[in-house]
Amino acid sequence: MTEPPVPAIDGPAIHYTATLRPYRSLSPRGFRWVIAAAIAGNLVIGLPLLVLGAWPVLGFMGLDVWLLWFLFQRNYVDARRRETLVLDDHDLVIRRVSPEGEEEQIRLEAYWLKVHWDEADERLIVSSRRSRAVIGRFLPPVERRRVADQLKAALAAMRAPRYRHSWDDA
C-alpha cells in the first residue's frame, strides 16, 4: 500500500510531477560516426568520378553531406523542447519551453481537471472548466498514453485520500 503524499510545510502537496522531452535515438558520438561514414562513402564514389572528369559530382556529394549535417543539427535544436507537469492540491501547472527558450505556463484547476485520451488522434488532452491543453505532442503515442494513465492515477489518488488512523496499526 502506498502512503499518501505528505503536504509540504509551506505549500500544497505535490501529487504528480513529470518532465517530458522528445526522444532522440542518436547520440552526439553516433552523429559524428554517421557524418564520417557519409563523407567516406561519398569520397569512395566521388574521387574516381573526379579522376574520370565528372568533377561536379563531388560538389553535389559535398552538398549531400552538408544537408545531412544541417538536418541533424536542426533535429538536435528541436530536442531542447520540454514540458513540465506539476499536479498539486490546487492546480495542474504545465510549463512549456520551446527549442528557442521561450516559456509558456498553463494553469488548470485540479478540482475540475479531466484527463482525456483521444483514441482517433492519439492525443492527450487535459481540461478544466473552459480551459484545455494538449500535452506531449512531441512524444510517441505509447509515451503519451503512459503519461495519461499516470496522471489519471495521480488524480484518483488525490481525490480519494487515505488517512492513517491509530486503529490502522492495531
Q: What is the per-residue pLDDT across 114-150, written as a single tens digit (0 to 9) for each?
A: 999 988 888 999 999 889 999 999 999 999 999 999 9
pLDDT in the model for residue 170? 59
DSSP label at 133?
E
Do 61 and 95 share a domain, yes or no? no
Residue 5 has pLDDT above 60, yes or no: no
Query: Is 100 part of any domain?
Result: yes
Other CB atoms within a 10 A radius of the CB of residue 92 amount to 24
Do the beta carbons of residue 47 and residue 59 sit within 8 Å? no
Structural domain count, the chain: 2
Same domain flag for 94 and 64: no
Q: Residue 166 pLDDT more than 60? A: yes
Whether residue 34 is found in the same domain as residue 90: no
User: Is the residue at 167 inside a domain?
Assistant: no
Name the pLDDT band for 6 (thresholds 50, 70, 90). low
Return all residues near 12 (Cβ < 8 A) that are at least 6 apart: 88, 89, 90
> Per-residue pLDDT tens for 13-68?
888 999 999 887 888 899 999 999 999 999 999 899 888 888 888 888 999 999 99
State the residue range of the domain holding 106.
14-22+81-159
Same domain, 49 and 86: no
Same domain, residue pair 32 and 64: yes
In a domain, 165, yes or no: no
Q: Give the model's pLDDT for residue 168.
A: 66
Residue 89: pLDDT over 80? yes
Q: DSSP of 73-98, one letter per residue?
A: HHHHHHTT-EEEEEEESSEEEEEEE-
